[in-house]
Amino acid sequence: MNIAVVGTGYVGLVTGTCFAEFGVNVVGVDKDEAKIASLQKGKVPFFEPGLEEMVERNQREERLAFTSDMKAAVEKALVIFIAVGTPSSESGAADLSYVRDVALGIARYMNDYKVIVTKSTVPMGTGAMIRRLIEENQPRPIPFSVVSNPEFLREGSAIEDFMRPNRIVIGAEDPQAIAILKDLYKPLYLIETPFVVTNVVSAEMIKYASNAFLATKISFINEVANLCEAVGADVHEVARGMGLDNRIGRKFLHPGPGFGGSCFPKDTRAVLNMGREAGVPVRIIEAVMEVNERQGARMVDKIRRAVGGLKGRRLAVLGLSFKPNTSDIRESPAVRIAEELMREGAVVRAYDPAAMEEAQRTLRGLEYAEDPYDAARGCDAVIIATEWNQFRGLDWGKMKAALSSPVVIDLRNVYEPAQMKQLGMTYVCVGR
Ligand code: NAD
């Protein structure tokens, strides 16, 4: 089968490459010509473990190609995935302009029956909007199907998540499209992945409801952590005690500086906006977002208190990406905190194993270090902002020698308080 994946960002590139791995012929399309030129040479312009090797291999074996020629891609493909960005617009609603552009491109170049699949996270009703746009802009009536197939992969473990997902959601109204999608995903069917087949609008809603629920878990445990600090409880013990209840589950009960990244902030904003527009306010999500905002401020406050005021302080920030194993810094809590520290007059020396290049392109005012010890050099404290594995086993003798005072503010609770105390460090963490 020939398919096209439009948008070669985190989701589009992983989707296309993994389908190629399944034996499908895939062309990845992007309007960013520099990105396409880089991909044609086998270079992935961001960090995702294992992806570059897989791209290169599938290109070599001629199942994966890249182009910016939308016409050629649409003409050849039976299935076209839309995997472009849907960022927040000013109102908080998802900005669908990229999705619309792609739908118009498909309408213009359609030559035969096509299955048009949204992989991007899109508001309820987008499938219907795409259908209308294509019907109105086709040169002549050509049959097509619109499918919603939301993506749940996590950056940092995207390949594993795509290859072994908890479920595949297919929202479609006609049996032919469902059969084609099931055929594409056959290798996952064979490993007994549950398939949820529903209508388009319910599939669109499943994605937002899932992300909103996960964001809720994070804000919930952060509030519990804050309460733990006030009453002298240990949030890790509390989370474990809660999480062993199967109805609650252990995942996503880790306290920290709040959620960030390219999905949760924008998707919760979009849910709020959809609720407002539908006249059904989603009060829980309002609170979740407010708690998340406040959590960032609480972290800055923790740092301020630990070093006795921020003005003129030198602070090492370890980690800039919004989570480990990615170079993505979109709405990263680490970045938000570093920026606030600088706004209040601190000098920030940062180190990240993968996101430095991206940070240097977009952030002003940070000093960039070679490694964690170089970051700590002459600093009043070190802040663990992202829980990269390489920050879990730091040499604290070396750290102490580099720092001007032995203060650690561990916003990810990577270390044990007792152990840090024994090492002679002043240790501040979250909810313990
Ligand atoms: P991204 O910004 O990394 O990539 C989007 C790509 O689309 C870019 O390369 C851009 O150049 C390209 N593009 C934009 N308009 C185009 C057009 N008209 N024609 C061709 N290419 C075009 O975005 P992403 O992180 O991959 O997210 C894509 C979608 O998937 C979003 O809706 C997001 O919410 C959703 N999603 C993301 C994740 C994640 O972890 N990143 C997970 C699940 C779902």
Successive 10-residue mean pLDDT values, the chain, 432 residues: 98 98 98 98 96 98 98 98 98 97 98 98 98 97 98 97 98 97 96 97 98 98 98 98 97 97 97 96 97 98 98 98 96 98 98 97 95 98 98 97 98 97 97 96
Ligand 1 near 56 CB (within 6 A): no
What pLDDT does 332 receive?
Answer: 98
Tens of pLDDT, residue by residue over 95-115, are 999 999 999 999 999 999 999
CA distances from 4 to 68, 71, 117, 199, 301 (A): 11, 11, 10, 23, 48
For the beta sheet containing 347-351, the strands, ordered from the edge strand earlier in sequence to the opposite edge, are 367-368, 347-351, 314-318, 381-384, 407-410, 426-428
Could you give the CA distance from residue 187 to residue 233 in angstroms, rounded to a whole number?
Answer: 47
Distance, in Å, from the CA atom of 313 to the CA atom of 304, rounded to the nearest integer, reads 10
CB-ligand 1 contact for 387 (6 Å cutoff) = no
Cα angle 318, 366, 254; round to 5? 30
Tens digits of per-residue pLDDT, 414-430? 999 999 999 999 999 99
**Confidence (pLDDT) at 256:** 98
Ligand 1 geometric centre to CA of 11 (Å): 6
Catalytic residue flag (residue 379): no
Q: Is the CB of 204 under 6 A from ligand 1?
A: no
Q: In what order do the strands lie in the sheet with 64-67?
A: 64-67, 25-29, 2-6, 79-82, 114-118, 144-148, 168-171, 195-198
Look-up: residue for tokens 């270390």? 415
| Contacts within 8 Å (CB) and 24+ apart, 44-47 | 44/13, 46/9, 46/10, 46/326, 46/327, 46/328, 46/358, 47/325, 47/326, 47/327, 47/354, 47/355
Structure token digits, residue 408: 């650690």
* The ligand 1 atom nearest the CA atom of 154: 40
Type and span of the H or E element at 204: helix 200-231
Question: Is 333 within 8 Å of 296 (Cβ atoms)?
Answer: yes
User: H or E element: which one contains 18?
Assistant: helix 10-21
